[in-house]
Structure formats: structure tokens, C-alpha cells
Amino acid sequence: MRTPGGADEDDAAESEERFRLLVESVADYAIFMLDPNGRVATWNLGAERIKGYKAAEIIGKHFSVFYPPEDVAAGKTERELEIATRTGRFEEEGWRVKKDGAHFWANVTITAMRGRDGKLIGFAKVTRDLTERRRAEDETRRFRLLVESVKDYAIFILDRGGHVLTWNLGAERIKGYRAQISAGTGRFEEEGWRIRKDGARFWANVVITALRNPDGVLVGFAKVTRDLTDRKEAEETQRALVAERAKREEQSRIQEFQERFLAILGHDLRNPLASIDMGAGILRQLSKDPAAIRILDRMRSSSLRMSRMIEQILDLTRTRLADGLKLDPKPMDLRDLTAHVIEELRVIHPSRLIELRSPPLPGVWDPDRLEQVFSNLIGNALLYGAPEAPVVVVGGIEDGLIWVDVHNDGAPIPAEMQSSLFNPFRRGERESRSSKTTGLGLGLYISREVAIAHGGGINLRSSVTEGTTFRVTLPVTSLLTPTRGKVP
């Protein structure tokens, strides 16, 4: 049975043992004692983990081994013990050294320990590794300096609640307002493009509102961003549709004006020309003067050419109106029609050689329209072909289609012109406004429209080695009704 005095001693011993176990088991703090001279007297698990020494390696050594050489040389360890001895406590943050020589940022507390008589018996030293916190603070400090100095980018920080914490010069320059605007007015709002984490742009409505406590003191800003990309895209699409509709309406008005103008022009010019041609013909029959006859023949030739140009204008108008080209298909032989066209052109070009190589080509087509086509194609071949080489007209039947080639050996059509050669008002390079053969540039366009109206077409091949060939293809029977053919 223990005596009262013995019980107190046992309790004290048990308490000291529990405290020792507690200290030695702490892993997050280096807790150890130094003797009055600064030598390590005890060592816990936290000290071993943080500093890297085992107890047997460090006990008895001076605590200056934990300091960088420059601090030791400067007498820092002696100064810390002196302050702790004089004031009872010393605390600081600074670099310390591990066993392997690595530096770590530490919070250090040294406390003087004295006996009941007040005599110094040693020091308690507690060290905490704050390297991660120090690294984070350094990164934050560097980032803040970087952000505040950047002028080309708007960079600002929001906390998790969406409050504005920082505002840099770039934000002020780019966005055009200072951080204090929201503070002064209570609210700022705008719409504009923003950038997501992945770099994608989105149209945003941004509202920044000042936050104040009950006393009216500004405590931060709330920033609310709403993605309005869908609405923005819908508005852009609607604007594009409106612009496209307006463009089509304007083009339609222009085309309608052109068509009406050409129709009126062709109608009002054809009647006076008919009177001129008729009068010139009567005067020629009555005249005996060779010079007058030549003049009258020239007048009739010019009148005929002008009539053809007016007819081309009317044809152009018809191809662009809903009525389309009027066709009157009849049974005929295409070889006979081309032979007739060739005979007429030989009268106009007596020195030129024109060869026809074709079997009979029977079918059902509009002879007047096809005469217009081949007069234009063969006439162009005579105009642009080499004078010493013949114009060759060859016909045949292939795959259920009648085809006729009009070939000349003149200079080839430049490749850059071929794609637009059948456009209206497209004139050959050799034509000039002063030339007797100048035209409106409608012949090839109307010729192809006539072929298309019959269910066929016209294409060309042209090169330096092969010359130029226009091929007309037609179905044996016209695809359209005998009264009217609408251009597809």
C-alpha cells in the first residue's frame, strides 16, 4: 500500500512519462531540448522527420548545424540563445538546413527553461516546416507583381463567391473603367466577348456590383457573368438573313429594270429599221447609178445587222423572263440547214473555204432558232479562224444524240476566258467598237440557251495544237411543246 507521499511521486512520474510520450510522438513539429550551451539533449519523431537526423546522430551536437553557414558565421545562434535567456523567449521565421543539406523555411520558437531557484537549465525548441506556405506566398507575391505591371491584358482575381479582389492596369486600359467605378456607382454592366479556359470565345453579359456591410463600408465586389452566345449568334444570323434578303430584292429590282428597258428598246427600234430597210430596197430597184446602189446595199446590210442585234436583245429578255424562248419544232434535216447557212456565209466571205462533212441528220427542232445558232457559230469561226485554213462543219449521231462540230484552226481561246465565254455581253478579244463586225456579245449566250431549250447544249474545246471546236448536241426530237420552250 502506497503512502500519501509515495502516491504523489508516482503520479508525477506517470504524468512526466505521458508528456514525454506525447512530445516524442508528435510528427508535425520538431520538439526538442537544448542544454544551456545549445547542445541537443532530446529528439522527437517530428524532429527526425523534418530535419532528417535520428536521435543517435544529433543528440550532443550544437544546434547550429540546423543553420546556414552564413548565419552561423554571423553569430545568429548565440544571439538567439542570448535573447531567449534575457527575455524568456525567441521566435522567428527563416531558412534552416536539413541533414542532406536541403533548405526549408521554418517557424522557430526557443523558450528558456529555469529551475525553481531561477537558474537556467536549458531551452525548449519547437520548429515547424513552413516551406509549402512560403512557396505559395512567394508565388502569390510574384504573381501579384506580374499582374499589377501587365498593361496588355485585363487580369483580375475573383474569390470563390465571385467578388473582385484585384484589378490591374491592363483591365483599366482594355475595359475602360477603374476598379472604383463599381464602388462609387454601386453597379457596372456591359456585354462583350470573353474567353473560356479552353480558349473558346463566348458573348457575355457582365455585371459587377459593389458589396457593402451594414455600416456601408465597401467589402468587395460581386461579378456575375451570363453566357449569351446563343442569343448573339441568333441575332447575327437574323441580321445576315435580312441583309441577304435586301440584297436579293435589290438585285431583283435591277434585273427587272434591265429586262423592261431591253424589251422597250428592242420594240421601239425594230419598227424604224424595218422602214429604213424597205425604203432602201425600193430605191435600189429604181436606181441605175452604181455608186447609189453600193450605198443602198450598205444601208440594207447595216439595217440587217442592226435588226439581228435587236433580235438578240429581245431573245436575251425572253430567256430571263418567265415565258422563256418560244420554239416552233418541225420535222427537218440538220445537215440541210447547216448547208443553207454555209451557202449564205460563202456569199459574204467569198474567199474563205467552208467544208461540210455530215450525213443526213433528221429530227424535230425549231429551224429558225437553229439557223440562228449555226449562223453565229460558223460566222465566229470565219471571223476568228486562220484565213488560210478552212472552217470545217462535221455532224453525226452518238448515244441517241445528234451532234454538230464547228471547227477552225485559228488562235486558241485563252483558258481564263473559256469559263465566261457563254456569259451575256461577253465579246471576243479581236472585236473593237470601231470594227464592222462588232456585236453585243450575246451570240454565244443565246445560241447555248436555244440548244438548252431544245434539251441539248453547247460546249467547246480549244488549244494551240487542236484549234477551236464548238459542239452542238440535240435530242432527235425536241423535248418541248411546239408552241413554247422555257429555258431550264
- Residues 242-267: tens digit of each pLDDT: 999 988 888 888 777 766 776 666 66
DSSP annotation of 186 reads S
Which is higher by pLDDT, 294 or 357? 357
pLDDT at 344 over 80: yes
Distance CA 93, CA 107 (A): 4
DSSP annotation of 433 reads T
- Residues 377-398: tens digit of each pLDDT: 999 999 889 999 999 999 999 8
Which is higher by pLDDT, 488 or 425? 425
**Considering only 98-112, 223-237, 384-398, 434-448, which range has the smallest mean pLDDT?**
434-448
Q: How far is CA 362 from the centre of its chain?
A: 57
DSSP class per residue in 9-77: HHHHHHHHHHHHHHHHH--SSEEEEE-TTSBB----HHHHHHH---HHHHTTSBGGGGS-HHHHHTTHH
DSSP class per residue in 98-113: -TTS-EEEEEEEEEEE
DSSP class per residue in 398-421: ETTEEEEEEEE-SSPPPHHHHTTT
pLDDT at 483 over 50: no
User: Under a CB-based contact definition with an 8 Å cutoff, are residues 147 and 128 in contact?
Assistant: no
pLDDT at 58 over 90: yes
pLDDT in the model for residue 258 = 67
* Contacts of residue 88, Cβ cutoff 8 Å, sequence gap at least 6: 111, 112
Which is higher by pLDDT, 25 or 340? 340
Which is higher by pLDDT, 420 or 34? 34
- For range 423-434, the mean pLDDT: 53
DSSP annotation of 304 reads H
pLDDT at 223 over 50: yes
Residues pairing with 106 in the sheet: 94, 129
Q: For the chain, how many residues are written?
A: 488
Confidence of residue 436 (pLDDT cuts 50, 70, 90): very low
Tell me the torsion sign for CA atoms 144, 145, 148, 149.
negative
**Considering only 73-77, 415-419, 469-473, which range has the smallest mean pLDDT?**
415-419
What is the model's pTM? 0.41
Confidence of residue 25 (pLDDT cuts 50, 70, 90): low
- For range 59-67, the mean pLDDT: 96
- For range 14-36, the mean pLDDT: 71
* C-alpha closest to that of 211 among 199, 201, 203, 219: 219
Among the residues of 123-214, which ranges form H helices? Answer: 131-149, 169-175, 180-185
Confidence of residue 229 (pLDDT cuts 50, 70, 90): confident
pLDDT in the model for residue 429 = 47
**Which residue spans within 215-374 are E strands per DSSP?**
218-227, 330-333, 354-357, 362-365
Structural domains in the chain, CATH included, are 13-130 (3.30.450.20), 150-227 (3.30.450.20), 233-319 (1.10.287.130), 323-475 (3.30.565.10)
Diameter of the chain by CA atoms? 173
User: Under a CB-based contact definition with an 8 Å cutoff, are residues 66 and 53 in contact?
Assistant: no
Nine-digit cell string for 460: 467547246
Please state whether beta strands 391-398 and 354-357 pair in parallel, antiparallel, or not at all (unpaired): parallel
- For range 329-337, the mean pLDDT: 94
pLDDT in the model for residue 485 = 41
- Name the range with the highest mean pLDDT among 121-135, 213-227, 255-269: 121-135
Nine-digit cell string for 360: 443526213
User: Under a CB-based contact definition with an 8 Å cutoff, are residues 104 and 95 in contact?
Assistant: yes
Residue pointed to by grid coordinates 536539413: 98
pLDDT at 104 over 60: yes
Of all residues in the chain, the percent with pLDDT exceeding 70 is 72
Confidence of residue 81 (pLDDT cuts 50, 70, 90): very high
Confidence of residue 100 (pLDDT cuts 50, 70, 90): very high
User: Under a CB-based contact definition with an 8 Å cutoff, are residues 324 and 299 in contact?
Assistant: no
Phi, psi of 235 (to 5 degrees): -65, -45
pLDDT in the model for residue 400 = 84
Distance CA 453, CA 193 (A): 54
- For range 14-39, the mean pLDDT: 74
pLDDT in the model for residue 50 = 92
